[in-house]
Amino acid sequence: MNTENSTGIDTKATAETRVVVIGGGYAGVIAANRLTQNPRVRVELVNPRPDFVERIRLHQLAGGTHAAVADYRQLLAGRVRLVVGTVTRIDASARELTLAPPDEGVKEGTTERVNKEERTLRYDYLVYAVGSGSADPDVPGAAEFAYPLASLEETRRLRTVLDATPATHTVTVVGAGPTGIETAAELAEQGRRVTLACGGTLGPYLHPKARRTVARRLAALGVTVLAGPGTRVAAVARESVTLADGRELPSAVTMWTAGFTVPDLAARSGLRTDALGRLLTDETLTSVDDDRIVAAGDSAAPSGLPLRMSCQIAMPLGAHAADTVLRRIGDEQAKPIAMGFAGQCLSLGRRTGLFQISHRNDVARWIHISGRPGAHLKESICAGIVKQLVREGEKPGSLKWEWAKDPKRAEQLRTRAATGQDHKAVASRSNANSVGINLS
């Protein structure tokens, strides 16, 4: 394994440093693997389940075309210890984590399960990469009758329900962000009768040209798209949904994809967060409360200006978080983040896809790739992400992203500093980005 240190750290130091990564998603795995650049760093990854979830494929799990899981033993560097359990509290002053045991058994190998004798975990540095999940919809009946699909367990539950539901019965997908669009297309392609309740605009991120392309594809698949202000779902019943405009629609299964949030672990542990619960950090991803805690992925709010929750930004954030820790261990100055977006990628069933090209500051451009080329591009991205995780384990430090730097972020930071805006004020206005998260 290549342990060359791209950050210039002296890897001959004799003192071992213990780094714990909370969360085994895209950001967490990249961070854990990248940390092994330094042979004197002991890396432990804590995750609630023994399998890696390919979250960008959960709509495929709902449709029965992919399991949406991968084996951590294939993804993690050999020196990374996987601890299966759930962190319930961070004691920053003691540099200690409290863990709850998992609900099920784990695989053998480098995986260890938290048991009654192992309830705490010590760290020298902590990478906070807890990810995101379904938000409470706060809609009458939604908690009882709607099925979210932001996690593996939620989507497996949904899959079981769909398997027991005749294809001739109408199902409803609530939310027209990427997850909603992909789920509706996946199910409709299999011959199901699908209604997509947008609650506003179809694909709000998309350029109008790309939006029309998506609308045509959904229509060709037979999806009933309900867009506009009156299409917000106001109530959910066992076999129907009621829209804000008063219409009641049949729905044998209602899937909820509108709105995401992050775990409240940081807030419960006394660390400052933004309005959504993301850990507040500076531009190096270091917590504003503790320089031994670094955040990455969906749960990070650098300078109170969080980036859109997505796999494409979670991975460079995870890599940057690892670099920040490695530089601190090597007594070097941590660098600010320098990254941006390429666009948004959607699957529209197995045969068609769309890649919306964007400016680096995450604003959609008029250009998009659709049809079969879009489908091939989407699949190559999904497969390539797993390959990149593996490569980072084999050759830590290999992920590069400087080519995508967004120069306008610096302008935003300067404007905020000039106007005296604080972290929370800016973050609360950015929370609209959490609705309709793109996971790719």
Given this model, what pLDDT does residue 352 score? 97
Given this model, what pLDDT does residue 333 score? 96
Reported residue count of the chain is 440
Pairing state between β 41-47 and 80-84: parallel
Measure the CA dihedral 178/257/276/309, to 10°. -20
Give yes or no for a contact between 20 and 345, defined as CB atoms under 8 angstroms apart: no
Give yes or no for a contact between 45 and 83, defined as CB atoms under 8 angstroms apart: yes
In the numeric block, which tokens belong to residue 364? 């959609």
pLDDT digits (tens, 9 = 90+) for 355-386: 999 999 999 999 999 999 999 999 999 999 99
**Residue ranges of the chain with per-residue pLDDT less than 50:** 1-6, 11-13, 104-110, 117, 424-439
Assign 244 to helix, strand or coil.
coil
Given this model, what pLDDT does residue 423 score? 52
Given this model, what pLDDT does residue 418 score? 78
Helix (H) or strand (E) holding 322: helix 311-329
Give yes or no for a contact between 341 and 324, defined as CB atoms under 8 angstroms apart: no
Q: Compute the C-alpha angle 361/397/391, nearest 5°.
A: 95
- β strands within 72-223, DSSP E: 80-84, 86-91, 96-100, 111-113, 120-122, 125-128, 133-134, 146-148, 170-174, 193-197
Given this model, what pLDDT does residue 59 score? 97
Given this model, what pLDDT does residue 4 score? 40
Whole-angstrom distance, CA of residue 309 vs CA of residue 410: 19
Residue 178 sits at φ, ψ, to 5 deg, of -55, -45
| Residue 295: other Cβ atoms inside 10 A | 31
In the numeric block, which tokens belong to residue 219? 């229509």
